[in-house]
Amino acid sequence: MVKSRKYTRRRAKPTKPRRSRQKGGTKKHTNLFKDAYTITLPSHPYRWEEMNRQAKEAGIHLQKWNGVVIKKEDIHTLPQLGVGTTNFKNRNGNIINLGVIGAYLAHRNLYDHIMKTADDTKATFISEDDIHITPDFHEKLLALEDEIQAHASDWDMLFLDKNTPTIQGKKVSEHLIKLDKDMTATKNWGIWSYIVRNASIRSKIRPCMEHMIDVPDIHLAKFADKINMYVITPPITYGHPGIGAKSIVTELESK
């Protein structure tokens, strides 16, 4: 049975951003992705406004992708969406996990959109709406491109932020860890911001998300033997110091 867990945010980064090893400013855009989306709920517009403000300062053309809210009266629609009853009811019949089911479906819906509209030779940046993007975002990624090409050229997903104490994997270079498959639900937490290869969505990632067996980040961890996932350390993005500590998923779970 899938157990509910309380989502906790990682600590926000200190307000002074850590500079990458690359010296000097740059107006160049990283080659690692083309399009960029933030998953957000219309009911919390201030989150999108803050994300968009940060993105503009960093030179990212960010697009809004509406999240999914699952209400108790909607649970009869979930099985045909690939969400089994153990994900929204426990053995006592209590309803659980509606917030994380919404998060799962939001990422999956965005994958479907990318498959229909995006160039399969490119990649896409995806984030949730409570991260901190610093103005030197592109500079940091540009400084890592050669390292990624040399040590992680087979990447399907590049995570820019994960819950550091839970990371389980092989360190393949100074700034890259390849995530291990984990079936315990205790490792590799976090799906806050990442870059996904568009072609991999169609061939690997979306097929693994046809049926929800856990919350989004832990679900993906169970398929690390099929999906090549790497995390960048130290992180490129962080929990936003103003809004990152308050999880909308947790808020929805309490209702």
d(CA 171, CA 75): 41
What is the mean predicted confidence (pLDDT) over 186-196?
95
Assign 3-class secondary structure to 30-55. CCCCCEEEEEECCCCHHHHHHHHHHH
SS3 call for 102: helix
Tell me what pLDDT residue 254 has.
Answer: 52
Per-residue pLDDT for 16 more than 60? Answer: no
For the chain, the domain total comes to 1
Residues 152, 229 contacting (CB under 8 angstroms): no
| Domain annotation covers residue 95 | yes
- The CATH number linked to 126 is 3.90.550
Q: Is the pLDDT of residue 18 over 70?
A: no
The tokens for 4 are: 């509910």
Structural domain boundaries, residue 156:
35-253
Strands 238-239 and 131-132: antiparallel
Q: Is residue 15 part of a domain?
A: no
Longest pairwise C-alpha distance within the chain: 59
Instruction: Judge whether 36 and 55 are in contact, CB under 8 Å.
Output: yes
The answer to whether position 25 is within a domain reads no
Residue 57 lies in a domain: yes
Q: Which range, of 84-98, 187-201, 239-253, averages the lowest pLDDT?
A: 239-253
Q: What percent of the chain has pLDDT over 90?
A: 75
Q: Which residues contact 118 (CB under 8 A, 6 or more apart)?
A: 34, 35, 124, 198
